[in-house]
A and B are shown apart, each in its own frame.
Chain A
Amino acid sequence: MSDTDEVGEEVTAEDGYTDDAVITHAHGAGGGQMTELIESLAVSRFAESEADVGLAALDDGSVQPIDDDHSVVVTTDSHVVTPLFFRGGDIGRLAVSGTVNDLAMMGATEPLALTSSLIIEAGTPQSTVERVTESMREACEEAGTTVTTGDTKVMGSDEIDTLAINTTGVGIVPRGEHVPDAGLSVGDKLIVSGTIGDHGISLLSEREGFDFGGDLESDVQPVNDLVRAAMDAGEVTAMKDPTRGGLATVLNEMASKADVGIDVEDASVPVSGAVSSAGEVLGIEPFDVACEGVVVMGVTGEDAEDVLDALRDNSKGEDAAIVGEVVEDHTGQVVLDTGFGRRYLSPPEGEQLPRIC
Protein backbone atom coordinates (compact mmCIF):
# COMPACT_ATOMS: atom_id res chain seq x y z
CA MET A 1 0.00 0.00 0.00
CA SER A 2 1.15 3.49 -0.68
CA ASP A 3 1.97 5.75 2.21
CA THR A 4 0.24 8.97 3.06
CA ASP A 5 1.52 11.49 0.58
CA GLU A 6 0.11 14.93 -0.04
CA VAL A 7 -3.18 15.14 -1.81
CA GLY A 8 -3.46 17.22 -4.92
CA GLU A 9 -1.17 19.62 -6.71
CA GLU A 10 -1.76 23.14 -7.83
CA VAL A 11 -2.96 23.40 -11.39
CA THR A 12 -0.94 26.22 -12.85
CA ALA A 13 -1.60 28.40 -15.85
CA GLU A 14 0.07 27.02 -18.93
CA ASP A 15 0.49 28.10 -22.48
CA GLY A 16 -2.85 28.30 -24.17
CA TYR A 17 -4.67 29.27 -21.00
CA THR A 18 -5.22 32.73 -19.74
CA ASP A 19 -4.21 33.29 -16.14
CA ASP A 20 -7.82 33.51 -15.03
CA ALA A 21 -9.04 30.35 -16.82
CA VAL A 22 -10.46 27.94 -14.28
CA ILE A 23 -11.85 24.45 -14.34
CA THR A 24 -15.64 24.45 -14.51
CA HIS A 25 -18.19 21.68 -14.22
CA ALA A 26 -18.38 21.62 -18.01
CA HIS A 27 -14.83 20.25 -18.07
CA GLY A 28 -16.04 17.17 -16.25
CA ALA A 29 -19.33 16.68 -18.03
CA GLY A 30 -18.10 14.42 -20.79
CA GLY A 31 -18.56 16.82 -23.70
CA GLY A 32 -16.26 18.65 -26.04
CA GLN A 33 -14.77 20.81 -23.32
CA MET A 34 -13.66 17.75 -21.38
CA THR A 35 -12.01 16.24 -24.42
CA GLU A 36 -10.18 19.49 -25.09
CA LEU A 37 -8.98 19.63 -21.51
CA ILE A 38 -7.71 16.05 -21.53
CA GLU A 39 -5.97 16.58 -24.87
CA SER A 40 -4.20 19.71 -23.71
CA LEU A 41 -3.43 18.73 -20.10
CA ALA A 42 -2.53 15.09 -20.49
CA VAL A 43 -2.32 13.64 -23.97
CA SER A 44 0.10 16.28 -25.20
CA ARG A 45 2.41 15.69 -22.22
CA PHE A 46 2.78 11.96 -22.00
CA ALA A 47 4.74 10.62 -24.92
CA GLU A 48 3.43 7.76 -26.98
CA SER A 49 4.05 4.48 -25.20
CA GLU A 50 4.48 1.03 -26.69
CA ALA A 51 0.89 0.29 -25.74
CA ASP A 52 -1.49 -1.22 -28.27
CA VAL A 53 -4.03 1.21 -26.84
CA GLY A 54 -2.51 4.24 -25.15
CA LEU A 55 -3.62 7.52 -23.70
CA ALA A 56 -4.11 9.20 -27.06
CA ALA A 57 -6.81 6.67 -27.97
CA LEU A 58 -9.00 8.04 -25.14
CA ASP A 59 -10.47 4.58 -24.80
CA ASP A 60 -11.88 3.02 -21.62
CA GLY A 61 -8.47 1.70 -20.63
CA SER A 62 -4.95 1.04 -21.90
CA VAL A 63 -3.65 -2.19 -23.43
CA GLN A 64 0.03 -2.93 -22.96
CA PRO A 65 1.72 -6.07 -24.34
CA ILE A 66 3.75 -7.89 -21.67
CA ASP A 67 5.01 -10.83 -23.70
CA ASP A 68 4.30 -12.39 -27.08
CA ASP A 69 1.03 -13.89 -25.91
CA HIS A 70 -0.46 -11.49 -23.40
CA SER A 71 -1.39 -7.87 -22.87
CA VAL A 72 -2.26 -6.17 -19.62
CA VAL A 73 -5.28 -3.93 -19.52
CA VAL A 74 -5.36 -1.08 -16.99
CA THR A 75 -8.14 1.37 -16.29
CA THR A 76 -8.83 3.91 -13.57
CA ASP A 77 -11.85 5.90 -12.50
CA SER A 78 -12.69 8.34 -9.73
CA HIS A 79 -16.19 8.31 -8.38
CA VAL A 80 -18.20 11.02 -6.71
CA VAL A 81 -21.97 10.86 -6.53
CA THR A 82 -24.76 12.67 -4.76
CA PRO A 83 -26.45 11.09 -2.90
CA LEU A 84 -23.94 8.43 -1.80
CA PHE A 85 -26.72 5.89 -1.39
CA PHE A 86 -29.31 5.92 -4.11
CA ARG A 87 -32.07 3.68 -5.37
CA GLY A 88 -30.46 0.67 -6.96
CA GLY A 89 -26.97 1.16 -5.58
CA ASP A 90 -24.40 3.35 -3.88
CA ILE A 91 -20.99 4.86 -4.51
CA GLY A 92 -19.23 1.61 -3.55
CA ARG A 93 -21.11 -0.50 -6.06
CA LEU A 94 -20.60 2.24 -8.63
CA ALA A 95 -16.83 2.38 -8.03
CA VAL A 96 -16.36 -1.36 -8.48
CA SER A 97 -18.81 -1.76 -11.37
CA GLY A 98 -17.43 1.24 -13.26
CA THR A 99 -13.90 -0.10 -13.23
CA VAL A 100 -14.81 -3.74 -13.85
CA ASN A 101 -16.94 -2.59 -16.79
CA ASP A 102 -14.20 -0.41 -18.25
CA LEU A 103 -11.88 -3.44 -18.22
CA ALA A 104 -14.60 -5.54 -19.84
CA MET A 105 -15.08 -2.91 -22.56
CA MET A 106 -11.49 -3.60 -23.60
CA GLY A 107 -12.17 -7.32 -23.67
CA ALA A 108 -10.72 -8.08 -20.23
CA THR A 109 -13.71 -9.81 -18.68
CA GLU A 110 -11.85 -11.48 -15.84
CA PRO A 111 -10.52 -8.65 -13.72
CA LEU A 112 -7.31 -9.73 -12.00
CA ALA A 113 -7.44 -7.20 -9.21
CA LEU A 114 -8.72 -3.79 -8.20
CA THR A 115 -7.19 -1.01 -6.16
CA SER A 116 -9.34 1.21 -4.02
CA SER A 117 -8.48 4.67 -2.83
CA LEU A 118 -10.89 6.42 -0.47
CA ILE A 119 -10.82 10.14 0.25
CA ILE A 120 -13.07 10.82 3.21
CA GLU A 121 -14.34 14.02 4.78
CA ALA A 122 -13.57 14.27 8.50
CA GLY A 123 -16.76 13.80 10.47
CA THR A 124 -18.21 11.15 8.19
CA PRO A 125 -19.76 8.38 10.30
CA GLN A 126 -17.65 5.22 10.26
CA SER A 127 -20.82 3.27 9.60
CA THR A 128 -21.27 5.14 6.34
CA VAL A 129 -17.82 4.15 5.16
CA GLU A 130 -18.42 0.59 6.30
CA ARG A 131 -21.66 0.39 4.31
CA VAL A 132 -19.79 1.58 1.25
CA THR A 133 -16.89 -0.85 1.59
CA GLU A 134 -19.27 -3.73 2.27
CA SER A 135 -21.11 -2.81 -0.91
CA MET A 136 -17.77 -2.80 -2.74
CA ARG A 137 -17.09 -6.30 -1.44
CA GLU A 138 -20.44 -7.55 -2.69
CA ALA A 139 -19.90 -6.01 -6.13
CA CYS A 140 -16.40 -7.53 -6.31
CA GLU A 141 -17.85 -10.91 -5.51
CA GLU A 142 -20.43 -10.48 -8.25
CA ALA A 143 -17.69 -9.56 -10.72
CA GLY A 144 -15.33 -12.33 -9.60
CA THR A 145 -12.55 -10.09 -8.37
CA THR A 146 -11.28 -8.42 -5.23
CA VAL A 147 -9.42 -5.37 -3.98
CA THR A 148 -5.74 -6.13 -3.47
CA THR A 149 -4.33 -2.74 -2.50
CA GLY A 150 -5.68 0.63 -1.49
CA ASP A 151 -5.21 3.97 0.18
CA THR A 152 -7.15 6.16 2.57
CA LYS A 153 -6.98 9.92 2.98
CA VAL A 154 -8.97 12.14 5.30
CA MET A 155 -9.64 15.76 4.44
CA GLY A 156 -11.09 18.56 6.51
CA SER A 157 -14.81 19.05 6.63
CA ASP A 158 -15.94 21.13 3.67
CA GLU A 159 -12.75 20.30 1.78
CA ILE A 160 -14.52 17.38 0.14
CA ASP A 161 -18.14 16.28 0.01
CA THR A 162 -18.24 13.19 2.28
CA LEU A 163 -16.50 10.62 0.14
CA ALA A 164 -14.71 10.09 -3.15
CA ILE A 165 -13.41 6.73 -4.37
CA ASN A 166 -10.82 5.97 -6.98
CA THR A 167 -10.58 2.45 -8.28
CA THR A 168 -8.04 1.07 -10.70
CA GLY A 169 -8.49 -2.26 -12.38
CA VAL A 170 -6.04 -4.66 -13.99
CA GLY A 171 -6.86 -7.49 -16.39
CA ILE A 172 -5.10 -9.70 -18.90
CA VAL A 173 -6.16 -10.40 -22.49
CA PRO A 174 -4.55 -12.67 -25.06
CA ARG A 175 -2.33 -10.41 -27.12
CA GLY A 176 -4.20 -8.81 -30.00
CA GLU A 177 -7.60 -9.89 -28.75
CA HIS A 178 -8.53 -6.71 -26.94
CA VAL A 179 -11.60 -4.86 -28.20
CA PRO A 180 -11.01 -1.18 -29.00
CA ASP A 181 -13.87 1.31 -29.16
CA ALA A 182 -12.73 2.30 -32.65
CA GLY A 183 -13.26 -1.07 -34.31
CA LEU A 184 -16.59 -0.63 -36.11
CA SER A 185 -16.81 -1.36 -39.80
CA VAL A 186 -19.59 -0.97 -42.33
CA GLY A 187 -22.17 -3.73 -42.03
CA ASP A 188 -21.69 -4.27 -38.28
CA LYS A 189 -24.83 -4.26 -36.15
CA LEU A 190 -25.07 -2.27 -32.95
CA ILE A 191 -26.41 -4.02 -29.90
CA VAL A 192 -27.44 -2.40 -26.62
CA SER A 193 -27.46 -4.89 -23.74
CA GLY A 194 -30.26 -3.38 -21.67
CA THR A 195 -32.64 -0.49 -21.09
CA ILE A 196 -30.95 2.90 -21.31
CA GLY A 197 -31.02 5.97 -19.09
CA ASP A 198 -31.93 4.22 -15.83
CA HIS A 199 -28.99 5.44 -13.77
CA GLY A 200 -29.06 9.03 -14.99
CA ILE A 201 -32.80 9.62 -14.78
CA SER A 202 -33.09 7.90 -11.41
CA LEU A 203 -30.17 9.81 -9.86
CA LEU A 204 -31.34 13.13 -11.22
CA SER A 205 -34.85 12.54 -9.91
CA GLU A 206 -33.57 11.63 -6.49
CA ARG A 207 -31.04 14.44 -6.31
CA GLU A 208 -33.49 17.11 -7.37
CA GLY A 209 -36.17 15.77 -5.05
CA PHE A 210 -38.58 14.58 -7.74
CA ASP A 211 -40.94 12.27 -5.98
CA PHE A 212 -41.71 10.02 -8.94
CA GLY A 213 -42.32 6.95 -6.82
CA GLY A 214 -42.49 3.61 -8.58
CA ASP A 215 -39.86 1.80 -10.47
CA LEU A 216 -37.05 4.23 -11.12
CA GLU A 217 -33.71 2.89 -10.00
CA SER A 218 -30.10 2.88 -11.07
CA ASP A 219 -28.94 -0.05 -13.19
CA VAL A 220 -25.44 -0.02 -11.66
CA GLN A 221 -23.92 -3.50 -11.99
CA PRO A 222 -20.81 -5.23 -13.25
CA VAL A 223 -21.41 -6.55 -16.77
CA ASN A 224 -18.18 -8.46 -17.34
CA ASP A 225 -20.05 -11.78 -17.37
CA LEU A 226 -22.48 -10.44 -19.95
CA VAL A 227 -19.64 -9.21 -22.13
CA ARG A 228 -17.91 -12.60 -21.87
CA ALA A 229 -21.08 -14.34 -23.01
CA ALA A 230 -21.32 -12.02 -26.00
CA MET A 231 -17.67 -12.43 -26.96
CA ASP A 232 -17.99 -16.20 -26.77
CA ALA A 233 -21.03 -16.11 -29.05
CA GLY A 234 -19.65 -14.05 -31.90
CA GLU A 235 -17.25 -11.44 -33.18
CA VAL A 236 -17.51 -8.24 -31.17
CA THR A 237 -15.78 -5.46 -33.11
CA ALA A 238 -16.10 -2.51 -30.71
CA MET A 239 -17.47 -1.88 -27.24
CA LYS A 240 -18.24 0.98 -24.93
CA ASP A 241 -20.32 1.49 -21.82
CA PRO A 242 -22.66 4.45 -22.15
CA THR A 243 -21.90 6.11 -18.84
CA ARG A 244 -21.48 9.89 -18.77
CA GLY A 245 -23.23 11.47 -21.76
CA GLY A 246 -25.31 8.35 -22.37
CA LEU A 247 -25.92 6.33 -25.49
CA ALA A 248 -25.92 9.42 -27.73
CA THR A 249 -22.37 10.25 -26.67
CA VAL A 250 -20.84 6.78 -27.04
CA LEU A 251 -22.44 6.12 -30.43
CA ASN A 252 -21.00 9.39 -31.73
CA GLU A 253 -17.59 8.54 -30.30
CA MET A 254 -17.67 5.10 -31.87
CA ALA A 255 -18.73 6.52 -35.25
CA SER A 256 -16.11 9.21 -35.33
CA LYS A 257 -13.26 7.03 -34.06
CA ALA A 258 -13.96 4.39 -36.72
CA ASP A 259 -14.74 6.96 -39.41
CA VAL A 260 -18.09 5.37 -40.19
CA GLY A 261 -21.72 6.41 -39.95
CA ILE A 262 -24.28 4.86 -37.63
CA ASP A 263 -28.02 4.51 -38.29
CA VAL A 264 -30.21 3.93 -35.25
CA GLU A 265 -33.86 3.05 -35.16
CA ASP A 266 -35.63 4.79 -32.28
CA ALA A 267 -38.31 2.14 -31.89
CA SER A 268 -35.77 -0.60 -31.25
CA VAL A 269 -33.88 1.15 -28.45
CA PRO A 270 -34.91 -0.40 -25.12
CA VAL A 271 -36.15 2.07 -22.50
CA SER A 272 -38.11 1.19 -19.39
CA GLY A 273 -41.58 2.65 -19.02
CA ALA A 274 -40.59 4.57 -15.88
CA VAL A 275 -37.49 6.11 -17.48
CA SER A 276 -39.38 7.05 -20.61
CA SER A 277 -42.19 8.63 -18.56
CA ALA A 278 -39.87 10.50 -16.21
CA GLY A 279 -37.89 11.67 -19.25
CA GLU A 280 -41.05 13.12 -20.78
CA VAL A 281 -41.92 14.95 -17.56
CA LEU A 282 -38.42 16.35 -17.05
CA GLY A 283 -37.79 17.13 -20.70
CA ILE A 284 -34.72 14.90 -20.73
CA GLU A 285 -33.91 12.33 -23.40
CA PRO A 286 -32.94 8.88 -22.09
CA PHE A 287 -30.36 8.86 -24.92
CA ASP A 288 -28.48 11.66 -23.17
CA VAL A 289 -28.08 10.32 -19.64
CA ALA A 290 -25.85 7.76 -18.00
CA CYS A 291 -26.26 4.01 -17.80
CA GLU A 292 -24.04 2.09 -15.35
CA GLY A 293 -24.90 -1.49 -16.21
CA VAL A 294 -25.23 -1.53 -19.96
CA VAL A 295 -22.85 -2.17 -22.84
CA VAL A 296 -23.06 -1.00 -26.44
CA MET A 297 -21.30 -3.29 -28.87
CA GLY A 298 -20.64 -3.53 -32.54
CA VAL A 299 -21.00 -7.09 -33.82
CA THR A 300 -20.40 -8.40 -37.32
CA GLY A 301 -23.62 -8.69 -39.29
CA GLU A 302 -23.48 -12.47 -39.46
CA ASP A 303 -22.91 -12.95 -35.72
CA ALA A 304 -25.40 -10.34 -34.52
CA GLU A 305 -28.33 -12.67 -33.87
CA ASP A 306 -26.12 -15.21 -32.04
CA VAL A 307 -24.67 -12.52 -29.81
CA LEU A 308 -28.12 -11.11 -29.16
CA ASP A 309 -29.38 -14.54 -28.12
CA ALA A 310 -26.40 -15.02 -25.82
CA LEU A 311 -27.06 -11.67 -24.17
CA ARG A 312 -30.75 -12.37 -23.74
CA ASP A 313 -29.99 -15.69 -22.06
CA ASN A 314 -28.33 -13.71 -19.27
CA SER A 315 -30.63 -12.01 -16.74
CA LYS A 316 -28.63 -8.77 -17.12
CA GLY A 317 -29.23 -8.86 -20.86
CA GLU A 318 -32.85 -9.86 -21.23
CA ASP A 319 -33.79 -6.46 -22.72
CA ALA A 320 -30.89 -6.52 -25.19
CA ALA A 321 -31.71 -5.37 -28.69
CA ILE A 322 -30.16 -4.67 -32.06
CA VAL A 323 -30.64 -0.92 -32.32
CA GLY A 324 -28.87 -0.01 -35.53
CA GLU A 325 -26.11 -0.62 -38.00
CA VAL A 326 -22.90 0.80 -39.29
CA VAL A 327 -23.14 2.52 -42.67
CA GLU A 328 -20.89 4.30 -45.14
CA ASP A 329 -22.89 7.52 -45.23
CA HIS A 330 -22.61 10.47 -42.86
CA THR A 331 -19.24 9.39 -41.45
CA GLY A 332 -18.66 10.39 -37.88
CA GLN A 333 -22.34 10.96 -37.28
CA VAL A 334 -25.30 9.10 -35.91
CA VAL A 335 -28.65 9.37 -37.64
CA LEU A 336 -31.82 8.41 -35.82
CA ASP A 337 -34.90 7.15 -37.60
CA THR A 338 -37.66 8.43 -35.31
CA GLY A 339 -40.43 6.50 -37.04
CA PHE A 340 -41.60 9.82 -38.49
CA GLY A 341 -38.46 11.16 -40.07
CA ARG A 342 -34.71 11.18 -39.68
CA ARG A 343 -32.45 13.43 -37.67
CA TYR A 344 -29.02 13.49 -36.13
CA LEU A 345 -28.56 11.96 -32.72
CA SER A 346 -25.95 14.31 -31.30
CA PRO A 347 -24.07 14.06 -28.03
CA PRO A 348 -25.50 16.24 -25.27
CA GLU A 349 -23.46 19.21 -24.08
CA GLY A 350 -22.97 19.35 -20.36
CA GLU A 351 -25.01 17.94 -17.53
CA GLN A 352 -28.68 17.34 -18.28
CA LEU A 353 -31.09 19.46 -16.26
CA PRO A 354 -34.85 19.28 -16.02
CA ARG A 355 -36.47 21.85 -18.23
CA ILE A 356 -39.86 23.47 -18.22
CA CYS A 357 -39.71 24.83 -21.72
Chain B
Amino acid sequence: MCLGIPGEIVEIDGNEARAEFWDVEKTVRIDVVDEDVEVGDHILNHAGFAIRKIPEEEVEETMEIYESFLEGDEDEALEEIGASEGQQLGIEGR
Protein backbone atom coordinates (compact mmCIF):
# COMPACT_ATOMS: atom_id res chain seq x y z
CA MET B 1 0.00 0.00 0.00
CA CYS B 2 2.81 2.31 0.65
CA LEU B 3 5.93 2.75 -1.34
CA GLY B 4 8.49 3.55 1.34
CA ILE B 5 11.99 4.45 0.28
CA PRO B 6 14.99 4.85 2.58
CA GLY B 7 17.12 7.94 2.09
CA GLU B 8 19.83 9.94 3.80
CA ILE B 9 19.34 13.55 4.91
CA VAL B 10 21.89 15.87 3.31
CA GLU B 11 20.42 19.29 4.12
CA ILE B 12 17.69 20.65 6.39
CA ASP B 13 15.66 23.82 5.91
CA GLY B 14 12.82 24.24 8.41
CA ASN B 15 10.27 21.49 7.93
CA GLU B 16 11.87 20.45 4.64
CA ALA B 17 15.01 18.49 3.94
CA ARG B 18 16.99 17.34 0.94
CA ALA B 19 17.46 13.60 1.08
CA GLU B 20 19.62 11.35 -1.03
CA PHE B 21 18.03 8.19 -2.40
CA TRP B 22 20.98 6.25 -3.80
CA ASP B 23 21.95 8.33 -6.83
CA VAL B 24 19.21 10.96 -6.80
CA GLU B 25 18.08 13.65 -4.38
CA LYS B 26 14.64 14.83 -3.48
CA THR B 27 13.07 17.32 -1.11
CA VAL B 28 11.00 15.72 1.63
CA ARG B 29 8.92 17.16 4.45
CA ILE B 30 10.16 16.23 7.91
CA ASP B 31 7.26 17.47 10.04
CA VAL B 32 5.68 14.08 10.71
CA VAL B 33 8.86 12.11 11.30
CA ASP B 34 8.89 10.29 14.63
CA GLU B 35 12.12 11.80 15.98
CA ASP B 36 14.22 14.86 15.31
CA VAL B 37 16.47 14.28 12.34
CA GLU B 38 19.88 15.67 11.51
CA VAL B 39 22.06 15.72 8.44
CA GLY B 40 23.43 12.21 7.97
CA ASP B 41 20.38 10.47 9.45
CA HIS B 42 18.49 7.88 7.44
CA ILE B 43 14.76 8.29 6.97
CA LEU B 44 11.92 6.35 5.37
CA ASN B 45 10.25 8.50 2.71
CA HIS B 46 6.66 7.93 1.76
CA ALA B 47 4.95 10.24 -0.73
CA GLY B 48 7.36 13.07 -0.07
CA PHE B 49 7.23 12.86 3.71
CA ALA B 50 9.76 11.31 6.05
CA ILE B 51 7.66 8.98 8.21
CA ARG B 52 10.40 7.31 10.22
CA LYS B 53 13.94 7.93 11.29
CA ILE B 54 15.70 4.65 10.59
CA PRO B 55 18.00 3.92 13.49
CA GLU B 56 21.58 3.68 12.31
CA GLU B 57 22.28 0.27 13.78
CA GLU B 58 18.96 -1.26 12.79
CA VAL B 59 19.82 -2.30 9.25
CA GLU B 60 22.83 -4.29 10.41
CA GLU B 61 20.87 -5.83 13.22
CA THR B 62 18.02 -6.93 11.01
CA MET B 63 20.57 -8.67 8.85
CA GLU B 64 21.97 -10.35 11.91
CA ILE B 65 18.52 -11.60 12.88
CA TYR B 66 18.05 -13.08 9.41
CA GLU B 67 21.47 -14.61 9.49
CA SER B 68 20.86 -16.13 12.91
CA PHE B 69 17.50 -17.45 11.78
CA LEU B 70 19.23 -19.28 8.99
CA GLU B 71 21.76 -20.59 11.47
CA GLY B 72 18.89 -21.83 13.62
CA ASP B 73 19.43 -19.72 16.73
CA GLU B 74 17.20 -16.74 16.06
CA ASP B 75 15.65 -16.63 19.51
CA GLU B 76 19.01 -16.06 21.02
CA ALA B 77 19.83 -13.35 18.52
CA LEU B 78 16.51 -11.62 19.10
CA GLU B 79 16.96 -11.64 22.82
CA GLU B 80 20.46 -10.39 22.58
CA ILE B 81 19.71 -7.53 20.26
CA GLY B 82 16.41 -6.73 21.96
CA ALA B 83 18.07 -6.63 25.34
CA SER B 84 21.23 -4.82 24.39
CA GLU B 85 19.62 -2.06 22.35
CA GLY B 86 16.40 -1.86 24.29
CA GLN B 87 14.41 -2.48 21.15
CA GLN B 88 10.98 -3.94 20.96
CA LEU B 89 10.94 -6.94 18.76
CA GLY B 90 7.49 -7.99 19.72
CA ILE B 91 7.79 -11.70 20.20
CA GLU B 92 4.78 -13.01 22.01
CA GLY B 93 4.45 -16.36 23.61
CA ARG B 94 8.00 -17.42 23.04
Contacts and interface: CB of A to CB of B under 8 A. Distances in A.
Contact of B3 (A215, A276, A277, A283): A283
A133 B27 CA distance: 36
Main secondary structure of the interface of B (DSSP, over half): strand
Given A356-B46, A356-B47, A276 B2 contact: no
B1 A357 contact: yes
Nearest to A216: B24
B21 A277 contact: yes
Contact of B24 (A281, A283, A355, A357): A281
**B1, B22, B45 — most chain A CB neighbours (10 Å):** B22
A212 B27 CA distance: 8
Contacts of A212: 24-26
Interface string B16-50: 00000111111100000000000000000111000
B7 to A, nearest CB: 8
A215 B5 CA distance: 19
A356 B3 contact: yes
Main secondary structure of the interface of A (DSSP, over half): loop
Nearest to A356: B47
A215 B26 contact: no
Interface of B: 1-3, 5, 21-27, 45-47
20 contacts: A211-B25, A211-B26, A211-B27, A212-B24, A212-B25, A213-B24, A213-B25, A214-B24, A216-B24, A274-B24, A276-B22, A276-B23, A277-B21, A277-B23, A277-B24, A280-B21, A281-B24, A281-B45, A356-B47, A357-B3
Given A214-B23, A276-B22, 10 more contacts: A211-B27, A214-B24, A273-B23, A274-B24, A277-B22, A277-B23, A277-B24, A280-B22, A356-B3, A357-B1
Interface of A: 210-216, 272-274, 276-278, 280-281, 283, 355-357
